[in-house]
Amino acid sequence: GGQIKNTDDADDIKNVDLTKIHYLSGPFEIENAEPGDVLVVEIQDVQPLQDQPWGFTGIFAKENGGGFLDELYPDAAKAIWDFEGIFCSSRHIPHVRFPGLIHPGILGCAPSAEILAEWNRRENQLISECSHMGRDVAQPPNPKNVHAGAGDEALKKKVGEEGARTIPGRPEHGGNCDIKNLSRGSKVYLPVHVPGAKFSVGDLHFSQGDGEISFCGAIEMAGVITIKFSVMKDGVKHLGMKSPIYIPGAVEPNFGPGRHIYFEGFSVDSDGKQHFLDTTVAYRQTTLRCIEYLRRYGYSDYQIYLLLSCAPVQGHIAGIVDIPNACTTLGLPIDIFDFDIRPEAPVKKLDMGTCAFASK
């Protein structure tokens, strides 16, 4: 939406209007698509705009969006990434360069009125049940900056009162799932709920790590996507579909066997409290272990937080049955750095500069 600029401060991230962050292309009317069908979305190409060869990764301020680690890193921060062919690098996180896996964060078909009502019911129930937590747990409909196309004021008011926010993905239609592997050559299978499917797409990323942990955490970019559609008649029944399915494309960064270093985390939090098979606690610990490791080379925690959110890291659930601990892992590609980060290599602190912060 043009709110974030190619600058060396993060005032724009700190003051971002979260009701204006997802500008989508669509809805597209797909011929012959009817409720109960499956829309097959083939991503043929995704590229950055030629006259805007840069993107950004941000950490929202805790009081305005936050992120996965906002209790530890509450301040707004930003890194600008410059694109050079298939590669990117950043003046805010030096000594790093990696190829992108360009993809859309958002793909989805419109919900029916009944499905929309169900979204609002269950998310409002969650908000009500979690009011004691002192933080947002979901985003209800919001009339601010409502866009209703050519609709009149009555329709605009209705959209503001009932329309779904685009922040979460949802099982009935996909949406903002931020799956980094939905790049060139991928196929996505989406359930159709309304005549014509009403497909929308957006939130293009040059690269993203599994989890997109800083929330504004991919390399967000302006770009162009080329898509081919087909319709699988009665596909929802045929596939027994209750949520989207996808097949990744054949093109992605290949660092080769043995070229990742993996960090483990378990369902024991930083205060030593044991949780039961809690993958969120485990992945938070996994991430913190990697931050501690990279800190030794001179990076600040905020630089590492940004990097793990946007670089092609691999996040996995390694174990989910060995009570009481879930085990999660984070795989960091060794070769994105221009120095040796293997455990056996000597550690040398480098001048890593700083990421962009908001002015005080």
Residue 148 has pLDDT above 90, yes or no: no
Tally of structural domains, the chain:
2
Model pLDDT for residues 238-280, shown as the tens digit of each residue: 999 999 999 999 988 989 899 999 999 999 999 999 999 999 9
Please provide the average confidence, as pLDDT, over all residues in the chain. Answer: 97
Residues 224 and 272 in one domain: no
Residues 324 and 243 in one domain: no
Distances (CA, A) of 264 to 294, 303, 318, 333: 15, 21, 9, 15
The pLDDT value recorded for residue 174 is 96
Q: How confident is the model at residue 147 (pLDDT cuts 50, 70, 90)?
A: confident
Cβ-based neighbour number of residue 321 at 10 Å: 7
Residues 196 and 61 in one domain: yes
Residues 277 and 133 in one domain: no
Residues 286 and 152 in one domain: no
Residues 336 and 276 in one domain: yes
Residues 239 and 289 in one domain: no
Distances (CA, A) of 205 to 24, 105, 180, 185, 222: 13, 7, 8, 16, 8
Domain extent, residue 281, equals 260-357
C-alpha 65/C-alpha 60 separation (Å) is 6
252 within domain boundaries:
no
Residues 70 and 112 in one domain: yes
The pLDDT value recorded for residue 150 is 84
Residues 224 and 313 in one domain: no
For residues 304 and 336, the answer to whether their CB atoms sit within 8 Å is no
Which amino acid belongs to residue 285?
A: Q
Question: What CATH number did the domain enclosing 45 receive?
Answer: 2.60.120.580
Flag whether the pTM goes above 0.75.
Answer: yes
Model pLDDT for residues 19-54, shown as the tens digit of each residue: 998 999 999 999 999 999 999 999 999 999 999 999
Residues 173 and 297 in one domain: no
Boundary-marking domain end, from 191, 218, 247: 247
200 within domain boundaries:
yes
CA 304 to chain centre: 17
176 within domain boundaries:
yes
Residues 174 and 265 in one domain: no
6 within domain boundaries:
no
58 within domain boundaries:
yes
Model pLDDT for residues 290-323, shown as the tens digit of each residue: 999 999 999 999 999 999 999 999 999 999 999 9
Model pLDDT for residues 317-331, shown as the tens digit of each residue: 999 999 999 999 999
3 within domain boundaries:
no
Boundary-marking domain end, from 216, 247, 278: 247
Percent of the chain residues topping a pLDDT of 90: 94
Residues 148 and 272 in one domain: no
301 within domain boundaries:
yes
254 within domain boundaries:
no
* 3-class state of residue 14 by DSSP: helix
Boundary-marking domain end, from 194, 222, 247: 247
